[in-house]
Structure 1
Amino acid sequence: MPLVTAGVVVLDCAEPEKLAVFYKELLQAEETDAGANLVEIKSADGLRLAFRRDANATPPSWPRPENSLQAHLDFLVEDLDAAERKVVELGGRPLEAKEGPGPYEERGCSDPAGHTFTLRRTRQTAPKQG
């Protein structure tokens, strides 16, 4: 058994209950613990996220350079357009608008509290030809 095992990623925010709802819906997760200042969820694939109340939490300004990124989450998706629509439907927003034709492999977004994350297209696993 390893000395240290992965625990939970904790995001500070002013309203943990609201942010937990966003991620529960986005990840089709379930709430595993809730208290006055912390809400924890777990997705079907085992990802554990928690949201801790911090009345002074300041979201990062990324991609603007005047503030650091702080933390960044990557979510794997099969359909970038559908996932981005879901983010917007749940109160998040796209951060990087891409121009030009063709699919893009990833898109930057933020949750309703301003935490950034990337929707990244899963790699196609088609067999090699020839």
Structure 2
Amino acid sequence: MALVKAGVVVLDCVEPEMLAVFYKELLEAEQTDATANRVEIRGADGIRLAFRRDVNATPPSWPRPENSLQVHLDFVVEDLDEAERRVVGLGGRPLDTKDAAGPFEERGYADPAGHSFTLRRTSSTAPKQG
């Protein structure tokens, strides 16, 4: 048995309740725990995220170099356009919507508190035709 097991990814933010709602709706998750300074959710696929109150939290500035990317989340989606509409409808904002080269299509976003994340669509696993 492992001495240390993976726990939960925790994002610091000024308003954890509001940020939890964003991710809860985005991931169709359920709230599993809440205190005055922390809210935790679990997505249908088992991913666990928590949001911790830090009244001095400042969002990362990615893609600018100062205070840039500290950590980000990757989410896999089937339809990038539909997922983007959902993100924006929930209060997120696009950071970079250029198509990435290579086997993946991905787009960068910021959640309402400024944390960056990526929506990524993997290439089809269907066999090539012709």
What is the identity percentage for the equivalent residue pairs of Structure 1 and Structure 2? 79
| Residues in 2 aligned to 1:25 and 1:58: alpha-carbon distance in whole angstroms | 23
Return the offset for 1:69.
0.8
Moved over 6 A (4+): none
Instruction: Give ranges in structure 2 of 5+ residues lacking alignment.
Output: none
Deviations 1:73-93 (A, max 9, x none): 000001000001100000000
Match of 1:15 in 2: 15
Match of 2:91 in 1: 91
Match of 1:123 in 2: 123
User: Secondary structure at the residue paired with 2:41?
Assistant: strand
Code of the aligned partner of 1:85: R
104-113 or 33-42, larger mean C-alpha shift: 104-113
- Please report the TM-score for the alignment, with normalisation by the length of structure 2: 0.91
Match of 2:113 in 1: 113
User: Secondary structure at the residue paired with 1:7?
Assistant: coil
Match of 1:60 in 2: 60
Code of the aligned partner of 2:74: D
- Please report the TM-score for the alignment, with normalisation by the length of structure 1: 0.91
Match of 2:73 in 1: 73
Deviations 1:6-31 (A, max 9, x none): 11000000000000000000000000
Return the offset for 1:127.
2.3
The equivalences for 1:29-44 within 5 A come to 29-44=29-44
| Residues in 2 aligned to 1:97 and 1:3: alpha-carbon distance in whole angstroms | 41
State the Cα RMSD in Å.
Answer: 1.5
User: Secondary structure at the residue paired with 1:105?
Assistant: strand
Return the offset for 1:98.
2.6
| Residues in 2 aligned to 1:7 and 1:13: alpha-carbon distance in whole angstroms | 19
How many residues are paired up?
Answer: 126
Return the offset for 1:67.
1.6
| Residues in 2 aligned to 1:80 and 1:18: alpha-carbon distance in whole angstroms | 24
